[in-house]
């Protein structure tokens, strides 16, 4: 660094020579206040961009300025520590005085605000699309949420179907096991996983309580969460199904059942092969108790949140319960 005074540094007189140009003094002063693009510095200095670039180059070589690339833009800021050099400190004082006199120091705030102009104009325009649709970038938001959850080593998605719930689970859990009996459904789930690039999901064709699934779960000491989304109303014996699901959870792990509230839409027996027309809240609580789960809670999910599928007109509900720690 030209300001350090080491044996390998250029002579000190070169630093004085470099700082003898008023434009460079002003440039350093502005860059010490805010990281600014070369074009922004040119605007503030009232100089052409090529000329400003020519002044920036020797200041960068002398390690007085740090330059950061952002695509085609170069942003300049005062290099760390150079203010400690008395010559540079004096140059900055002179540069600030010049910038105060010509008003460029006060205009920095306007230049920074102007960066927002394009974004403000873009977002002020009417946007196309249905506001009810979930954002396509939802997996990115879930990835950001994941570190806030304490227990997320393993999740089981029982009856994964086409894998729609995997879009929620894969960004959050370290590993996910999706289980379904139908090969056609799993083929759709695999396509979804490939499109999203999820490498932490294992799909299994079979029953959610078979030896393969139990083996995977046992390797991890049980699942942190077992999900059954719209599965129970297809089960011939819902109570036994919930008991089998709960056995996959680790002690203290959660079982989450998403299903319909009791309804009278008989068409769903034909449209979706539903065995049961939803469940009363006390039915779910009774099933959870018989399965040996603790602290069961049921929450209603309004139909407005349940999509536009053939069951989107129904109110759903979610049962959350835990496997006891002494299980």
* Band (149; pLDDT cuts 50, 70, 90): confident
pLDDT in tens, 196-210: 899 999 999 999 889
**Within the chain, which residue ranges are assigned CATH 1.10.10.10?**
12-122
**Within the chain, which residue ranges are assigned CATH 3.40.50.150?**
138-322
pLDDT in tens, 224-244: 999 999 999 999 999 999 999
Find the DSSP H helices in the chain: 12-18, 22-33, 38-45, 49-61, 86-102, 108-114, 117-123, 138-145, 166-169, 183-196, 211-219, 238-246, 267-272, 281-290
Q: How many residues does the chain have?
A: 327
pLDDT at 18: 92
Higher pLDDT, 308 or 239: 239
Q: Which of 251, 253, 205 is nearest to 226 (CA)?
A: 253
CATH number of this structure's domain 12-122, picked from the four choices 1.10.1040.10, 2.40.50.100, 1.20.1070.10, 1.10.10.10: 1.10.10.10
pLDDT at 7: 45
For the ranges 9-13, 89-93, 184-188, 322-326, the lowest mean pLDDT is seen at 9-13
pLDDT in tens, 86-138: 999 999 999 999 999 999 999 999 999 898 887 778 767 776 655 556 678 88
Superfamily of domain 138-322, CATH level 4 = Vaccinia Virus protein VP39 (3.40.50.150)
* Band (156; pLDDT cuts 50, 70, 90): very high
0.75 surpassed by pTM: no
pLDDT at 327: 72
Higher pLDDT, 119 or 284: 284
Average pLDDT over residues 149-174: 93
Q: Which residues pair with 229 in a beta bridge?
A: 258
């Amino acid at each position: 660094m030209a300001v350090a005074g080491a044996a390998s540094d250029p002579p000190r007189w070169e630093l004085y020579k470099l700082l003898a140009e008023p434009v460079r003094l002003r440039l350093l002063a502005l860059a010490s206040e805010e990281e600014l693009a070369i074009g922004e510095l040119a605007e503030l200095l009232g100089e052409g961009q090529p000329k400003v670039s020519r002044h920036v180059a020797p200041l960068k070589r002398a390690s007085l300025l740090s330059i950061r690339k952002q695509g085609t833009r170069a942003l300049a800021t005062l290099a760390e520590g150079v203010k400690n050099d008395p010559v540079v400190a004096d140059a900055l004082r002179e540069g600030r005085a010049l910038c105060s006199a010509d008003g460029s120091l006060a205009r920095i705030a306007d230049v920074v605000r102007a960066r927002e102009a394009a974004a403000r104009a873009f977002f002020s325009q009417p946007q196309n699309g249905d506001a009810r649709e979930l954002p396509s970038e939802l997996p990115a938001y879930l990835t950001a949420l994941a570190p806030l959850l304490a227990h997320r080593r393993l999740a089981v998605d029982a009856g994964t179907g086409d894998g729609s719930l995997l879009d929620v689970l894969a960004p959050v859990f370290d590993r996910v096991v999706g289980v379904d009996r139908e090969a056609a459904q799993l083929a759709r789930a695999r396509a979804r996983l490939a499109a999203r690039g999820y490498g932490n999901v294992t799909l299994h064709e079979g029953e959610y309580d078979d030896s393969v699934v139990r083996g995977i779960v046992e390797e991890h000491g049980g699942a942190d969460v077992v999900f059954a989304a719209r599965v129970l109303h297809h089960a011939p014996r819902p109570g036994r199904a919930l008991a089998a699901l709960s056995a996959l959870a680790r002690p203290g792990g959660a079982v989450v059942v998403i299903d319909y509230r009791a309804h009278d839409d008989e068409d769903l027996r034909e449209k979706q092969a539903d065995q049961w027309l939803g469940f009363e809240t006390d039915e779910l609580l009774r099933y959870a108790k018989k399965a040996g789960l603790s602290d069961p809670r049921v929450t209603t999910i309004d139909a407005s949140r349940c999509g536009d599928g053939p069951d989107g007109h129904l109110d759903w509900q979610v049962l959350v319960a835990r496997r006891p720690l002494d299980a």
